[in-house]
Amino acid sequence: MRKFKHFPKQATCPICKTNQDKACFLMHIAGTYRDGLCHGQPVHVACLIDRANDMVWYQDQRVMLLNLEDSDE
């Protein structure tokens, strides 16, 4: 995972719904892969770490999910 020091001003973190200038990374967007490239969604590193307890691992499918509907919004 490649991290960036600054969050893009025009983007919004899907977890906290802000664009606070904090460290971030690009999360791959499913269904956008083409010729070895894909689109990415900036996500705050701290937001993902803070929500680690809300993640579920589906071992048979090899998929990890973070249900954003269960957030404290």
Compute the distance between CA of residue 40 and CA of residue 59 in angstroms, rounded to an integer: 24
Domain that holds residue 15: 3-70
Give the length of the chain.
Answer: 73
Compute the distance between CA of residue 7 and CA of residue 18 in angstroms, rounded to an integer: 10
Closest-CA residue to 26 (of 41, 48, 39, 11): 41
* Domains of the chain: total: 1
Q: What is the pLDDT of residues 3-61, one digit of tens each?
A: 999 999 999 999 999 999 999 999 999 999 999 999 999 999 999 999 999 999 999 99
Instruction: Judge whether residue 73 has pLDDT over 60.
Output: no
Mean of pLDDT values over 55-70: 89
